[in-house]
Amino acid sequence: MSKAMQQRESSIERRLHEMLRRRGALSMKLVSPGVPDRLVILPGGRIVFVELKQEQGTLSPLQLWQIDRLQSFGADVRVLWGKSQVQAFVEEVLPDEI
């Protein structure tokens, strides 16, 4: 992944983190090959794994495998493509906080 692409994905990640923090949720960075970028813990204990991508980004085979693996255990896993999908996700999971 190019340095410019990493910077753009990091700005999407920062946006998600800040929006959730302001609404009382936790957004924890995960660093493990193929594992989604963020572990989101919502009020009430709901947990969502979130992979963040630029709108034109792609998922690697390892990421696809890890997402499928997590979902096979019943985990809620989301792939958010760009800042507009981050906004929609936050509005979905925290509708009373907006």
Taking only the tens place, the pLDDT of each residue in 14-25 is: 999 999 999 999
At 97, the pLDDT band (50, 70, 90 cuts) reads low
CA distances from 60 to 5, 33, 42, 57 (A): 14, 10, 27, 10
Taking only the tens place, the pLDDT of each residue in 29-56 is: 999 999 999 999 999 999 999 999 999 9
CA-wise closest residue to 39 among 18, 22, 25, 19? 25
At 8, the pLDDT band (50, 70, 90 cuts) reads confident
- What CA–CA distance (Å, rounded) separates 27 from 43? 12
Strand order in the sheet with 38-41: 26-29, 38-41, 47-53, 76-81
Reported pTM: 0.89
* CATH node for 3-93: 3.40.1350.10
